[in-house]
Structure 1
Amino acid sequence: MNARALWATMIVLTGAYGQAQAQSSVQLYGIVDGGIAYVTNVAGGHTWMQTSGVGQADRWGLRGQEDLGGGYRAVFRLENGFTLNDGRFSQGGLEFGRQAWVGVASDRFGTLTFGRQYDFMVTNLTAFTAGSLTPSVLAFHLGDLDRLGAERIDNAVRYVTPEFAGFQFGALYAFGGRPGSFVSNSAASFGVTYGNGPFKAGAAYVELHDYTTLFGIGTSVLGKPLIGTLSQGLLPRFQTFDKLTVSGIGAGYQWGPANLHAVYTAVIFHQHGQSASLRTAEGGIKYTVSYAFSLAASYARSTLSENGWNQFAAGGDYALSKRTDIYLHAVYLHASAGVRAQIFSLPASSSTKQTVISLGMRHLF
């Protein structure tokens, strides 16, 4: 091969490699969120604390795709959660506790993924909640039992269809991994979303066998005490139920600068042939005052047997740039007599009332 032919071959190969690289990508991303908070009642006393991930949970991750040809793409995501206060891993110390999955995607046939993933309560309904729109993770519901605050499922196979006339459907199944029992520790989830201009809606269902509750709600359920007195609102002793089923429906409407949103969820505990239902209805509004400044307010009512909770959330968010903002939020929870108020991820109050006011800064990269 002469020199001219060699150079021509190298140019062709380099161009082909560059084209392949252009069709594939890997992105590093993350959120760093920190601030201070004042809580009116933690085990009987007022307290100030440094906060981590109140506006949005701290994380960093890698996501990417590779063109496989024929309209197919290999896709993956690895996402780590951490606490800004001390640099530790979140999600029980897992390295990629927020998400860890790989799969294949097609505009024509949908997306199939395998790994640690969200169920459809998260992906289909969180956009209609105060916890997302205020934004304040403390505005999510009791113990996050309705899973709107981003709970995950291990060993999951997840499929989402392409969009059809505004509709998109999904299904998930998680293998329990216990030898000799196909059902133990398994989970299943289904969901649907719909979008038409300013109107968005979603519905979801998830069923979890041998479910372990980590966070407290300030009272007992089917004889199991769910009062979180440890840091981050965790139970002194985690409680396991035979089965937990969660369902919900939500919607949002963008009316000029106002985003009106509502969500309803039902959590059913199953234990030794008995059941108990925790139901929550929430409505709220987020109003964009200007490009940089927004206000939000919401109200949620939860009921469990004769017990009831009223939760109010309000906040303001100001963008310093496209990637950095500051926020001021407040959440107030009032429980019925005999129930200790416990705002999600905070230790239980000694009374029926609890308020938290948080000031923070969030940076996205």
Structure 2
Amino acid sequence: MRTSIRSGAGWVAGAALLAAMAAARAQGTVNLYGIVDGGVSFVTNESGKHAWVQTSGVGQSDRWGLRGVEPLGDGWRAVFRLENGFTLNDGRFSQGGLEFGRQAFVGLASDRFGTLTFGRQYDFMSTNLTQFAAGTLTPSVYAFHLGDLDRLGAERIDNAVRYLTPEFGGFQFGGLYAFGGQPGNFVANSAVAFGATYAHGPFRAGAAYLGIHNYTAAFGIGTTVLGAPLVGTGPQGLLSPFRVFDKLTVAGVGAGYQWGPAFVHGLFTLVNFSQNGADASLRTAEGGVKYSVNYAFSVAGSYAYSKLGQAHWNQIVGGIDYAFSKRTDVYLNAVVLRASSGVRAQLFSLPASSSNSQTVVSLGMRHLF
């Protein structure tokens, strides 16, 4: 009789332990997510010719990813993210063929102490300011600024250690350091970044700074900077060959206010190039509004002015978006860029125009999962 009771008690204890382990596992999650975006674009001038192209990721870049969270106790969590970019047209990897070129990091998070992560990550120009940019709100990747040099279109940094504080009264701060990885030279290829955000009611604001040593410019802007020709005529507006600067410094501030159905936004960015003791600065100011006609239909418009030495650019963006559901929408947008005399207009991610003007009109569909 005693043996039977002990056996029953052991079975109950074992079942309870298994149930507890299952509950613990259930608390940790790994989610699959992504965006599939495709459509058709018309470009008025690519190296002197009109172009009709089937485009991938105009509203938002195509991607899929895995993100995971595991509770560790006492308010701590293990977190990770692996995110792959691809082109819908041909199924190729984006970001130069990297398997997880968009994001790849692991770290620890706490509501009390903040989040510390290690890997390939975004700096604060994108995470803190993209929400105030036409490229996000229209939506159109072509609406980001020249060559995406101010990094609003979500550029990444390798070998990065990133820390983000908890929120304090609407404020949140962050810092990042990226190791260059060059033996004998601690500074070469390294980067430092800082950022801050604030939110209160309908008002949001952000600020960011980034300094990168030995920066490689991949996209063209249609003119020359410190003797380096930045005119991209290759696929996706890429330079051939890429240009390397001793240092690139980027800073920006942005803000937005939700005024009923209208979101009014503005931002300013400053990009400074350093090469052989000389400097050049690209300044951009942008403002616009996104108006939600109803829960499904919205319209957006913006204007941006950029200046680099004697060269300047005017960019006008307009678009409409209709959501069939929370996950599927269609959009129609147009981006017009006009540069000063002697400068070849080049919208972000497009080959340069043969003149000082370039326009792209896009019709696309986006699905989130």
1:353 and 1:137 map into 2 onto residues whose CA distance is 18
Instruction: Give the drift of 1:9.
Output: 1.8
Instruction: Give the drift of 1:56.
Output: 0.2
* Deviation digits for residues 274-319 of structure 1 (CA, Å, limit 9, x no counterpart): 0000000000000000111110000000000010000000000101
Instruction: Give the drift of 1:248.
Output: 0.1
**Alignment map for 1:124-163 (pairs within 5 Å):** 124-163=128-167
2:345 and 2:14 map into 1 onto residues whose CA distance is 70
* Deviation digits for residues 220-269 of structure 1 (CA, Å, limit 9, x no counterpart): 00000000000100011100000000000000000000000001000000
The structure 1 residue matched to 2:324, chosen from 320, 326, 341, is: 320
The structure 2 residue matched to 1:281, chosen from 281, 285, 288, is: 285
The structure 1 residue matched to 2:94, chosen from 74, 90, 93, is: 90
Instruction: Give the drift of 1:6.
Output: 3.4
**Rg larger for:** 2
Matched, 1:168 2:151: no
For these two proteins, the number of residue pairs brought into alignment is 365
1:273 and 1:254 map into 2 onto residues whose CA distance is 44
1:104 aligned partner? 108
TM-score w.r.t. length of structure 2: 0.98
The structure 2 residue matched to 1:57, chosen from 49, 61, 72, is: 61
* Deviation digits for residues 125-145 of structure 1 (CA, Å, limit 9, x no counterpart): 000000011111110000000
SS in 1 for 2:153: coil
The structure 1 residue matched to 2:192, chosen from 188, 191, 197, is: 188
What amino acid maps onto 1:89 in structure 2? F
Instruction: Give the drift of 1:22.
Output: 2.7
Matched, 1:211 2:215: yes
Instruction: Give the drift of 1:23.
Output: 1.8
What amino acid maps onto 1:100 in structure 2? A
1:231 aligned partner? 235
1:177 aligned partner? 181
SS in 2 for 1:88: coil
**Alignment map for 1:191-202 (pairs within 5 Å):** 191-202=195-206
What amino acid maps onto 2:217 in structure 1? T
Matched, 1:5 2:9: yes
Instruction: Give the drift of 1:13.
Output: 1.4
* Deviation digits for residues 151-207 of structure 1 (CA, Å, limit 9, x no counterpart): 000000000000111110000000000000000000000000000010000000000
Instruction: Give the drift of 1:15.
Output: 2.0
SS in 1 for 2:96: helix
Matched, 1:261 2:270: no
2:280 and 2:30 map into 1 onto residues whose CA distance is 45
1:128 and 1:322 map into 2 onto residues whose CA distance is 21
2:46 aligned partner? 42
SS in 1 for 2:24: helix
Matched, 1:116 2:120: yes
SS in 2 for 1:108: coil
1:247 and 1:5 map into 2 onto residues whose CA distance is 65
1:309 aligned partner? 313
Identical counterparts, % of pairs: 72
What amino acid maps onto 1:294 in structure 2? S
- Runs of 5+ consecutive residues of structure 1 not aligned to the other structure: none
SS in 2 for 1:10: helix
Instruction: Give the drift of 1:18.
Output: 2.5
1:241 aligned partner? 245
Matched, 1:330 2:328: no
Instruction: Give the drift of 1:5.
Output: 1.9
What amino acid maps onto 2:204 in structure 1? K
The structure 2 residue matched to 1:270, chosen from 267, 271, 274, is: 274
What amino acid maps onto 1:166 in structure 2? G
What amino acid maps onto 2:15 in structure 1? I
2:354 aligned partner? 350
Q: Which moved more, 1:273-282 or 1:315-324?
A: 315-324
What amino acid maps onto 1:315 in structure 2? G
SS in 2 for 1:188: strand
Measured on the aligned residues, the alpha-carbon RMSD in Å equals 0.8
* Deviation digits for residues 42-66 of structure 1 (CA, Å, limit 9, x no counterpart): 0001110000000000000000110
SS in 2 for 1:101: strand
1:250 aligned partner? 254
SS in 2 for 1:9: helix
1:322 and 1:173 map into 2 onto residues whose CA distance is 36
Matched, 1:32 2:6: no
Instruction: Give the drift of 1:95.
Output: 0.2
* Deviation digits for residues 28-82 of structure 1 (CA, Å, limit 9, x no counterpart): 0000000000000000011100000000000000001101111100000000000
SS in 2 for 1:92: helix
TM-score w.r.t. length of structure 1: 0.99
